[in-house]
Amino acid sequence: MSTVTFEAPRGMRDFYPEDMVWRNRIFDAWRAAAERAGFRNYDACVVESLELLQRKSGEEVSEQIYAFEDKSGRKLALRPEMTPTLARMVAARQTRLPFPIKWYTIAQCFRYERMTRGRKREHYQLNMDIIGSEEVLCEAEILGAAVAAMRAMGLGDEAWRIHVSSRALLGELLAKSGIPEAQHPAVFIALDKRGKISDEEIAALLRVEGLDDAAVAKTFELLSVTTLDEAAALAGADSPAIANLRDLFALAEQMGYGPLLTFDIAVIRGLSYYTGIVFEAFDVQRKFRAIFGGGRYDSLLALVGGQPTPAVGMGFGDVVVGEVLREALGETCPVTRHGYAIGYMAAEQRGAAVALAARLRAEGHAVDLALLPQKPKHFFSKAGASAAKFAVFLGPDDLAAGTAQAKDLETREITPLPL
């Protein structure tokens, strides 16, 4: 028999119990925030048809797809993101759904990426999307829920920022610079590579798209705009994109996360389907890649064959936020102690221990019952290292007295517990 490596395939993760503590901290915060904001849960199979996922070449994600053929020759793939699947599901029931709909899911996604810090070949993503409304309150609600999730995980507002821009704004500015609309999608994708490849390489990409030297220079000039007021001065008083952005900033203030938002014209997003406001969240030191990202994509439903329907959403990955959390909270995930650990000295006390465990479990407590008799020292040291709040160790004296001692592992306080 050949030897098998104990490692998971490159870029894939195993989750041991100590890893699951972190993962659950993230997933619990995601789920609670999405539910509290009124999003309904949905799910889909991780395998999707390749045709749906593969869009225009040049988009990074479509080059990273794990694709395969099934035994009947169907071209399939592991989804790299959830949005095309969501668009397909919504298009399939377009006449029956009560728009606008607010849906969320926690989806495992696969991308054959070059591995860097915060990038794996598999990750989980919280997706929250609102489909069927053009109101900028949708963007504000989605960002508000993401903020609530970050706070629930234990990350302070000082640690991170949401960078916001708008493809519609950039489109207006590019048009004013004389760059025709047909070239905008390619310009967005090229500009999104900023920081990943050199400006010379980006300029070369723009020239391939047909921009002359003057247009390339103008495009780079637009990226030096630093404030919304500056952008407004360029776009003109009647710019719908500016009005939209100002509305979002005002709503964020009203919702209590205004200080987290910052205008950043360099946020463009790598996926081609975005049409309006786009956003990405980063740690303030910019040590990590984007914590989450998303935006408005009003054309995707029509692109997959549905009726034209406005939509906005975000993807929030577990990998980057996991790293940010470890940095902020320490390597060991802080856990809230709960439930009981029960041990016993000899076989004679096993029955009483089992009965006590059954009773406490019936009352709704978590109980970790020892499988064998133990020395008290061993029991208490293991209980101390566990997540239990109380430790109960049964010896002959407890049975004789008809009362056990529950030791609070945080306060060391002892409470009697009738047997």
Interface residues with ligand HAM (CB under 6 A)?
A: 81-83, 111, 113, 119-120, 123, 125, 127, 129, 271, 290-294, 297, 313-315, 317, 319-320
CB-nearer residue toward ligand HAM: 44 or 203: 44
Looking at the Cβ atoms of 135 and 368, the one nearer to ligand HAM is 135
Identify the residue whose tokens are 């793939």: 77
Which residues of 157-242 form beta strands (DSSP E)?
Answer: 160-166
Based on CB atoms, which residue is closest to ligand HAM, 152 or 234?
A: 152
- Smallest distance from the beta carbon of 377 to ligand HAM, in angstroms? 44
HSE toward the beta carbon, residue 114, CA cutoff 13 A: 2
CB of 362 to ligand HAM, least distance (A): 42
In the complex with ligand HAM, the residue whose CB is nearer, 319 or 406, is 319
Please, which residue, 171 or 313, has the CB nearer to ligand HAM? 313
Phi, psi of 193 (to 5 degrees): -80, -5
CA 388 centroid distance within chain: 29
CB of 10 to ligand HAM, least distance (A): 13
Burial call 370-381: b when 16+ CB within 10 Å, e when fewer: beebbeeeebbe
- CA dist 262 and 227 (Å) reads 9
Coil, strand, or helix at residue 95? coil
Spatial contact of 149 and 30, defined as CB atoms under 8 Å apart:
yes
Q: Could you tell me if 136 and 251 are in contact, meaning their C-beta atoms sit under 8 angstroms apart?
A: yes
Q: How far is the CB of 125 from ligand HAM (least distance, A)?
A: 5
The CB density around residue 91, as the number of other CB atoms within 10 Å, is: 18
Give the tokens for residue 212.
Answer: 């002359």
Structure tokens at 98: 């009560």
Name which of 317 and 343 has its Cβ closer to ligand HAM: 317
Please give the C-alpha separations between residue 135 and each of 78, 184, 244, in angstroms, as whole numbers. Answer: 33, 24, 9
Taking the least distance from each CB to ligand HAM, the nearer of 31 and 111 is: 111
Tell me the closest approach of the beta carbon of residue 4 to ligand HAM, in angstroms.
26
Query: Which one-letter DSSP state was computed for residue 337?
Result: -
Shortest distance (Å) from residue 43 CB to ligand HAM: 15
Question: Which single residue is written with the structure tokens 């723009």?
Answer: 206
User: Is 308 or 396 the residue whose CB approaches ligand HAM more closely?
Assistant: 308
Separation between Cα atoms, residue 160 and residue 304, nearest integer Å: 35
* Residue 193 near residue 209 (C-beta atoms within 8 A): no
Q: How far is the CB of 209 from ligand HAM (least distance, A)?
A: 22
Shortest separation between residue 84's beta carbon and ligand HAM, angstroms: 8
Q: What is the DSSP letter of 224?
A: T
Distance in Å, CB of 66 to ligand HAM, minimum: 12
Q: Which residues share a beta bridge with 340?
A: 367, 390
Which of residues 319 and 369 has its CB atom nearest to ligand HAM in the complex? 319
Smallest gap from residue 103 Cβ to ligand HAM (A): 10
Q: Which two tokens stand for residue 88?
A: 């397909």
**Strand pairing class (311-317; 122-131):** antiparallel
Q: Measured from the CB atom, is 122 or 398 closer to ligand HAM?
A: 122
